[in-house]
Amino acid sequence: MVLAACAAPPAIPPGPPGRVVSLAPSVTEIVYALGVGDRLVGVCAQCDEPAAASLPRVGGYLAPSVEATLALRPALVIVVPSPGNREAVRAIERAGVRVLVVQDRTLNDLWASIRDVSAALGVEPAGATLAAELQHRLDDVHARIAGRPRPRVLAVVGHRPLVAVGPGTLQDDLIAIAGGENVMADAGGPWPALSLEVVVARAPDVIVDASMGTEAGLHELFDHLETIPAVRAGRVVRLADADAFLRAGPRVPTAAAALASLFHPSVPATAAMTPATS
């Protein structure tokens, strides 16, 4: 029975795919933001979008289950490349299921994802609208803080090893939009691991923590390092909604707004900074 399922590619029904599986949390959020969440039949374990709570899980973002995915008889599987899901994705493709690969590294990747997902689901107008709205809200955030002096910012995504946000990332773009200057903009790669002394030397004004660590851990990490302006001024902050910052999804303007408030506390938040739809 399993062999038969793997051997014959199912016929792709005409029209936009009705059974969609999302293997990444950011993709799940995009699909719901496009208004076609009802087409999802399965999501990955880390997809925490509330509306998808009742959907079956098909394994992890890092290691999706090929069997669980195929058992849902999807017409389309949308995937973000992760270290570890390459083989699973290949297996799904070999079984004849259509796979759409989207990237999640930069802001441009986000626009491309929205465009590609909306095209694959046959809702291009909704995609254009979503993209435009997100861009508008980002512009709004940027306009609010434009012209103000930019604080030096360190964004941390891991405590041990200490990993920061580097250039060429969505997160770096968000920092810039929120009016901050990433102190690690000259790092060779997107996720530089750092020695503490580099942090001391770069002397950020604000340290933003988007890691899985705890509040206590964050403060212990920078204990005794009051020469760092951020530590001295008490501007070492855990992001309340780290996922919005880390995922290339529809919540990036929320993340940008949160950052802007942190970087420029004197600028009041406006309604435009909050999401129009949830």
Partner 1 sequence: MTGRHVTAGRLARTAGVLAVALAVSIAAAVAIGPVHVSLTQALARADSPDYAILFRTRLPRVLLAGVVGGSLASAGAALQALLGNPLACPHLLGISGGAAVAGVFALIAGADPVSPLVPLAAFGGALGAIAIVGLGSRAGGRTTPHAVLLVGVVFNALAAAALMLLNAIVSYTQAQGVLFWIMGSLSTQSYALIAGVTAYSLVGIAWLMTRTHELNLLAAGEEGALQLGVDVERTRRTVFVAASLLVGAAVSVSGMIGFVGLIVPHLLRLALGPDHRIVVPASFLGGAAFLVWADTLARTALAPVELPVGVVTALAGGPFFLFLLRRHLRRAVR
Q: State how far the alpha carbon of 180 is from the alpha carbons of 145, 146, 187, in Å.
A: 10, 10, 16
**The binder of partner 1 chosen from 246, 248, 262, 273 (CB under 8 A):** 246
Tell me the number of residues near partner 1 by CB under 8 A.
48
Residues facing residue 78 across a β-bridge:
22, 100
**The binder of partner 1 chosen from 14, 50, 147, 188 (CB under 8 A):** 188
Identify the helix (H) or strand (E) that includes residue 99: strand 98-101
How many C-beta atoms surround the C-beta of residue 199 within 10 A?
23
**The binder of partner 1 chosen from 227, 270, 274, 278 (CB under 8 A):** 227
Nearer to partner 1, 24 or 75 (CB): 24
**The binder of partner 1 chosen from 12, 201, 240, 276 (CB under 8 A):** 201
**The binder of partner 1 chosen from 101, 112, 225, 237 (CB under 8 A):** 225
The label of the residue with tokens 């949830």 reads: 278
Q: Which residues of 3-24 are buried (b: 16+ CB within 10 A; e: fewer)?
A: eeeeeeeeeeeeebbebbbbbb
Q: Which DSSP category does 11 fall into?
A: P
192 binds partner 1 (CB under 8 A): yes
Considering only residues 84 through 123, tell me which ones interact with partner 1, judged by CB under 8 A: 84
Q: Is the dihedral of CA 72, 73, 76, 78 positive or negative?
A: positive
Q: Which stretch binds partner 1 (CB under 8 A): 49-57, 117-125, 141-149, 222-230?
A: 222-230
217 binds partner 1 (CB under 8 A): yes
245 binds partner 1 (CB under 8 A): no
Q: Which stretch binds partner 1 (CB under 8 A): 70-78, 94-102, 112-120, 161-169?
A: 161-169
Closest approach, Cβ 157 to partner 1, in A, equals: 6
7 binds partner 1 (CB under 8 A): no
CA-based nearest residue to 256, from 51, 269, 116: 269
CA-based nearest residue to 131, from 37, 207, 62, 30: 30
**What is the number of residues in the chain?**
278
Nearer to partner 1, 138 or 164 (CB): 164
Alpha carbon distance 106, 112 (integer Å): 10
154 binds partner 1 (CB under 8 A): no
Q: Which residues contribute to the site for partner 1 (CB under 8 A)?
A: 45-46, 60-63, 82, 84, 157-163, 184, 186-189, 192-198, 200-203, 211-214, 216-218, 220-221, 223-228, 242, 246
